[in-house]
Amino acid sequence: MTTTAGSIGMGNTGAGNTGAGITRVGIIGCGTMGAGIAEVCAKAGADVRVVVSSAASADAGRRRIAQSLNQAVARGKLTAEAGERVLGAISFTDALPDLADRQLVVESIPEDEKLKQRVFTALDAALTDPDAILASNTSSLRIATLAERTERPERVVGMHFFNPAQVLPLVEVVPAERTAERVVAAAETFAADVLGKQVIRSADRCGFVVNALLIPFLLAAVRMVEVGHVTPADVDRGMKLGCSHPLGPLELADLIGLDTVASVAEAMHAEFGEPLYTPPQLLRELVTAGRLGRKTGSGFFDYPR
């Protein structure tokens, strides 16, 4: 199955050229993050091919990207013609070997270490370009654990985007011990000069820079609600009005996805053993109930669907 993303109204005008060497990008996964990364890359002029698990996943990913582009058009951030060009630059497949000609592939599947390792082993075998860069959008796992499952660990690097990837300007670039400096530089150049992102480089440690600081803060807010010290609305109002945060911690957790918050916390607790990284029971219960935040319509707060 290989399909293009489809139409939002004006006819495809072509993918263009990034101007920085990388013009063919692969994305593995098209959930919230994968769709956002695919959109960002296509907006920058890259030819984007997305690997999904099924035709249903392709349809969901296509709708997710089209909705985001339509919203940008409605807000005047994008013309209809540009939106059509972006959508037309994205194709979908359920076959990993269809990424064989990609110069950069960004894995963006759920935070399951064993699953990601299997994907990297298969991706390593599928890519025909020896200079291709294998990147992971993991928000918590060590890049070295993925690189060691390939025959080209020097080509593996972390490229951690933030949700929503089409809006937030930051990318954490994370080299593992064996990542070649030229690969790190290429990833940083692509993120900064092609995608227009701001880049920070992080050591290969669980949580990198941002989540190492953010996750304990979010978990502390959950614990305050869990023990009845404050309501979700008031803890968020307190941080917005008292600390000038644009979002409260629980709104932010809902935006990130409570399952993602829990997964990152569990990974960090497993690595560092610190109690502050332990996911609170309330967070676990919400995840078990399928209340994952904005993407499911409810988390600590309810959202229109």
The answer on pLDDT for 100 being more than 80 is: yes
pLDDT at 11: 32
pLDDT band (50, 70, 90) for residue 20: low
Average pLDDT over residues 154-162: 97
Instruction: Kindly give the interhelix angle for 55-74 and 80-88, rounded to the nearest 10 degrees.
Output: 160
Which tens digits make up the pLDDT trace of 191-240?
999 999 999 999 999 999 999 999 999 999 999 999 999 999 999 999 99
- With 0-12 / 13-18 / 19 or more C-beta atoms within 10 angstroms meaning exposed / middle / buried, residue 52 is buried
Average pLDDT over residues 161-170: 94
pLDDT at 4: 54
Q: Catalytic pick from 211, 263, 269, 298?
A: 211
**Could you tell me the strand order of the sheet in which 104-107 lies?**
2-4, 90-93, 47-51, 24-28, 104-107, 133-136, 156-161, 170-175, 198-201
Report the C-alpha gap between 157 and 260 in whole angstroms: 21
The answer on pLDDT for 14 being more than 90 is: no
Q: Catalytic pick from 39, 84, 160, 298?
A: 160
pLDDT at 305: 78
pLDDT at 62: 94
The answer on pLDDT for 19 being more than 60 is: no
pLDDT band (50, 70, 90) for residue 1: low
**SS3 label, residue 43:** helix
Could you tell me the CA-to-CA distances from 305 to 61, 163, 287, 294, 297 in Å, in that order? 16, 18, 18, 9, 6
pLDDT at 93: 96
Our answer to whether residue 244 is catalytic in this structure is no
Closest CA to 194 of 30, 37, 34, 12: 37
Domains of the chain: 2-201 (3.40.50.720), 211-288 (1.10.1040.10)
Contacts 24+ apart (CB under 8 A), 162-167: 162/210, 163/32, 163/33, 163/36, 163/255, 163/256, 163/257, 164/32, 164/36, 164/68, 165/33, 165/36, 165/37, 165/39, 165/40, 166/36, 166/39, 166/40, 166/43, 166/68, 166/72
Which tens digits make up the pLDDT trace of 60-83?
999 999 999 999 999 999 999 999
Looking at the DSSP bridge assignments, the partners of residue 171 are 161, 199
Inter-residue contact 157 to 143 (CB < 8 Å): yes
More confident residue, 18 or 22: 22
The answer on pLDDT for 164 being more than 80 is: yes
The answer on pLDDT for 18 being more than 50 is: no
Q: Catalytic pick from 68, 139, 163, 263?
A: 139
Our answer to whether residue 17 is catalytic in this structure is no
Our answer to whether residue 245 is catalytic in this structure is no
The answer on pLDDT for 15 being more than 60 is: no
pTM, to two decimals: 0.88
> What mean pLDDT is reported for the chain?
92
The answer on pLDDT for 10 being more than 80 is: no
Which tens digits make up the pLDDT trace of 129-148?
999 999 999 988 999 999 99
Range with the poorest average pLDDT among 4-18, 26-40, 106-120, 172-186: 4-18
Q: Catalytic pick from 39, 107, 111, 172?
A: 172
Our answer to whether residue 172 is catalytic in this structure is yes
